[in-house]
Structure 1
Amino acid sequence: MPTLTLITSAPSSESVIDEAAAAVRAQYVDHYLSDVRRGDVIARDWTLYEIGLYDAANPEQPPLMDEIDGLHLPAAA
């Protein structure tokens, strides 16, 4: 009886780039939330400044600032 063997390929460069972008975005959100928890308004404002620069440099992606603003909206029931 013949058997089938799955031959995997290396991840595409697009998926690697997408994963890296997601990691950067997650790190910005983590830094922002840490700044807010500590009550460090200077660090928070600096993180928001960096997020603004990131959004300007990546116009093809959804704005990260919108996600940050959404953190402060009440959840729908």
Structure 2
Amino acid sequence: MSSPVLTLISADDPFEQIVAQAEAAVRAGYIADYLAADQATRAWIRYEVEMYDAANPAQPPLMDEIRGLHLPAAA
């Protein structure tokens, strides 16, 4: 009878990294689309971002980032 084999699972799960990269790309895409859009399209993107935030409550609100685009930078 052979000994049981133990497998070490690393803390850096490649699947989690892929998901994090995809989420970052989606968020960046919304911001890029918002910046390139006209006023009517921006209203629609704000609606989509609100839906995205509602579906992803564990993430920092993307709408806060969108609102922050219009604030002056601190010196």
| TM bucket normalised to smaller | 0.7 to 0.9
Alpha-carbon shift at residue 20 of structure 1 (Å): 0.1
> Kindly, what percent of the aligned residue pairs are identical?
59
Instruction: Report what 2:16 is aligned to.
Output: 14
TM value normalised by structure 2: 0.80
| 1:41 positional shift | 1.7
**Equivalent residue for 2:59?**
61
The aligned runs of 1:23-34 (5 Å cut-off) are: 23-34=25-36
Distance in 1, Cα, partners of 2:73 & 2:42: 23
Note the C-alpha offset of 1:42. Answer: 1.4
User: Unpaired segments of 5 or more residues in structure 2?
Assistant: 1-12
Q: Distance in 1 between matches of 2:65 and 2:42?
A: 15
Stretches (4+) displaced over 6 A: none
Deviation per CA, 1:30-75: give whole Å up to 9, x if none.
000001xxxx221110001000010000000000000011111111
> 1:12: Cα distance to partner?
1.2
Distance 1:29 1:58 in 2: 16
Paired residues in the alignment total 65
CA RMSD of aligned residues (A): 1.7
